[in-house]
């Protein structure tokens, strides 16, 4: 993936050059931990607002084992590569509902603790860990097929499976919340958070 602005969206993983560590601005957390993390070529993740107003800095975070967090800003020039979260099929996750989900959306991606453990080899996942998934929807037709197929597949609670729907690579919302009785839903994009009518979700794919 190229280092274009659309690359630096929520959920995107980023690897930084160790040589550029001196130009990275730490906003919270232990600077020694951040230096060590980058030196070991471990990934960071893009966080809102993603890019600075001039587009020259990327806002990043690290989720460490044990629920510790780091937050920083780095020059775009320090980015060596970026990647979407790993595909569900590449992660060591096997149970019946996931097989059915992959049949509905083959490009489901994993984020959260399972993604961090897959990418780093460090111990993130516990018995109480949720399985966090992303369903990428890029057209009204995909959305209609997804809704039809998912209507017959309730999400399990043990282990808890949280599915986030991502529209056109950016605006996202919780599938569980979409199924709830409220008429509006909370959407999150790389630059904003807002309430939207559920009836307009399909229309957003035309905007």
User: CB neighbours (10 Å) of residue 162?
Assistant: 14
- The pLDDT tens digits of the residues spanning 10-43 come to 999 999 998 888 899 999 999 999 999 999 999 9
pLDDT value of residue 31 = 94
- The pLDDT tens digits of the residues spanning 165-182 come to 999 988 999 999 999 999
CA distance 132 to 186: 17
45 & 116 share domain: no
193 & 94 share domain: yes
126 & 196 share domain: yes
67 & 104 share domain: no
pLDDT value of residue 6 = 66
* Mean local confidence (pLDDT), 153-158: 81
pLDDT value of residue 114 = 94
* Mean local confidence (pLDDT), 126-145: 92
Residue 73 has pLDDT above 90, yes or no: yes
**Which residues are the active-site residues?**
130, 132
- The pLDDT tens digits of the residues spanning 91-133 come to 888 777 888 888 888 889 999 999 999 999 999 999 889 999 9
CA distance 202 to 105: 17
93 & 153 share domain: yes
Evaluate whether 191 touches 171 at the Cβ level (below 8 Å).
Answer: no
61 & 134 share domain: no
Residue ending a domain, choose from 30, 53, 83: 83
Residue ending a domain, choose from 31, 62, 83: 83
Residue 4 has pLDDT above 80, yes or no: no
92 & 191 share domain: yes
Residue ending a domain, choose from 83, 116, 132: 83
Q: Look at residues 91, 105, 93 and name the one whose alpha carbon lies nearest to residue 153.
A: 105
- Residue 51's pLDDT band (cuts 50, 70, 90): very high
List the beta strands (DSSP E) in the chain.
Answer: 13-16, 25-28, 44-51, 57-64, 68-75, 79-83, 109-111, 131-137, 161-167, 171-174, 184-188, 193-197
Q: Look at residues 139, 118, 140 and name the one whose alpha carbon lies nearest to residue 129.
A: 118
Tell if the pTM clears 0.85, that is, is over it: yes
Q: Which two tokens stand for residue 207?
A: 């905007």
> 117: part of which helix (H) or strand (E)?
helix 113-120
Q: Which domain holds residue 18?
A: 5-83
- Residue 207's pLDDT band (cuts 50, 70, 90): low
79 & 127 share domain: no
45 & 97 share domain: no
CA distance 117 to 123: 6
CA distance 13 to 10: 9
105 & 26 share domain: no
Among 47-61, 68-82, 155-169, 174-188, name the one with the lowest average pLDDT: 155-169
Could you give the number of structural domains in the chain?
Answer: 2
151 & 78 share domain: no
Mean pLDDT of the chain: 90
Strand 57-64 and strand 44-51: the pairing is antiparallel
Angle, CA of 200, 176 and 122, to the nearest 5°: 120
CA distance 171 to 200: 13
26 & 77 share domain: yes
């Amino acid at each position: 993936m190229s280092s274009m602005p659309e690359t630096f969206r929520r959920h995107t993983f980023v690897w930084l050059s160790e040589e550029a560590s001196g130009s990275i601005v730490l906003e919270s957390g232990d600077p020694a931990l951040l230096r060590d993390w980058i030196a070991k070529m471990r990934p960071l993740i893009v966080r809102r607002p993603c890019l600075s107003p001039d587009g020259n800095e990327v806002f990043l975070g690290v989720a460490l084992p044990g629920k510790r967090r780091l937050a920083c800003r780095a020059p775009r020039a320090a980015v060596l590569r970026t990647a979407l979260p790993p595909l569900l099929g590449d992660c060591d996750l096997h149970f019946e509902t996931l097989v059915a989900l992959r049949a509905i959306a083959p490009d489901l991606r994993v984020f959260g603790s399972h993604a961090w453990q897959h990418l780093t080899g460090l111990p993130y996942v516990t018995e109480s860990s949720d399985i966090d998934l992303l369903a990428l929807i890029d057209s009204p037709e995909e959305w209609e097929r997804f809704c039809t197929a998912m209507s017959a597949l309730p999400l399990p609670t043990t282990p808890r499976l949280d599915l986030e729907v991502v529209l056109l690579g950016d605006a996202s919302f919780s599938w569980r919340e979409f199924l709830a009785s409220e008429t509006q839903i909370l959407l999150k994009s790389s630059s904003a958070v807002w309430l939207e009518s559920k009836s307009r979700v399909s229309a957003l794919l035309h905007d």
